[in-house]
Amino acid sequence: MTTDTASDRPVNAPARTVLKRLALLLLPVALLLPLTYLIPPLVRLDLAGSVALGAYWIAESGGTAGIPIIGAVMAALITSRPDLTVRRRLIEAALVVLALAAVLGGGAYVNEHAVKPTFAVARPNVVALGESKELKKSVEEFYALPDKAARSRHLDEVLARDGRMDGRVRAHWVAETGYSFPSGHSFSAMTFATFFVAMALACCSGWRLWAAMLLVPWAVLVCYSRPLLMVHSPTDVCVGALEGVAAGAAAFLFVRWASERSTAAKA
């Protein structure tokens, strides 16, 4: 069995062993995410301040702008380890892209077109604007608008002269006008953290393993950014994160299975 040059620990650890180690690493996440329930009653964030702007950038890193970049960097990190032949490197890279595209795309589609419309939970910021009459519609009337684009236009008009928030935070509110439950950002971030940490536990050591493990605190910060920005509730975040853990583990098991099949076929 080959080894990573950074350590004499064998690579390609059994999947069951990897999942056990992964569960231990994610245990702090299970303890930290319920603490998001303290944010709505205890934290009243200045939406024009530096903390809100920091939460915005963290949220962006877990959205459509940041996820592809992080994915490309992590895929390159995992597949660049020295124990791979060029053929195996290409196969594994293709499997990583395929697995992540399937779970992220499939999960986002199911959430957006099935789960969210079924539960139809209003976003906390929309509820707050409705209660203060600043929304100029009831929450029910707002969500009865034809689509997300119409809701975004209305919210843009409502917030056009609002000086209480940073312009980027305002733009984020305007863009996020779908239903709230569950959190797509939390889903994506925890999918990435779970998948790449599992991959690193299976086949990496040294700095590659430690770099992958940094995704866990990053994913937690993405989850916390959502209720801080008032675009999701703690329940949205916790359920989205749980979905992400399941999706990330499934993607890892698929890559492991497909990789083993390709190796057996070559033999």
Residue 213 or 40, more confident: 213
Is residue 128 pLDDT above 50, yes or no?
A: yes
pLDDT in tens, 92-127: 999 999 999 999 999 999 999 999 999 999 999 999
pLDDT in tens, 59-93: 999 999 899 999 999 999 999 988 888 888 999 99
pLDDT in tens, 241-261: 999 999 999 999 999 999 888
Distances in Å between the Cα of 242 and the Cα atoms of 50, 58, 72, 78, 223 are 29, 19, 23, 24, 11
What pLDDT is stored for residue 163 in this prediction?
Answer: 73
What pLDDT is stored for residue 14 in this prediction?
Answer: 86
pLDDT, the chain, mean: 90
Is residue 9 pLDDT above 60, yes or no?
A: no
pLDDT band at 165 (very low <50, low <70, confident <90, very high): confident
- Count CA within 13 A, CB hemisphere, residue 94: 9
Distances in Å between the Cα of 234 and the Cα atoms of 163, 172, 195, 243 are 26, 18, 23, 14
What pLDDT is stored for residue 4 in this prediction?
Answer: 41
Residue 160 or 230, more confident: 230
* Average pLDDT, integer, range 42-66: 89
pLDDT in tens, 18-43: 999 999 999 999 999 999 999 987 77
pLDDT band at 238 (very low <50, low <70, confident <90, very high): very high
Distances in Å between the Cα of 86 and the Cα atoms of 67, 109, 208, 264 are 26, 34, 19, 17
Is residue 191 pLDDT above 60, yes or no?
A: yes
- Read off the tokens for 48: 């024009």
What pLDDT is stored for residue 43 in this prediction?
Answer: 73
Is residue 1 pLDDT above 70, yes or no?
A: no
Domain boundaries, the chain: 15-44+62-118+183-266, 122-178
- Read off the tokens for 18: 């990897």
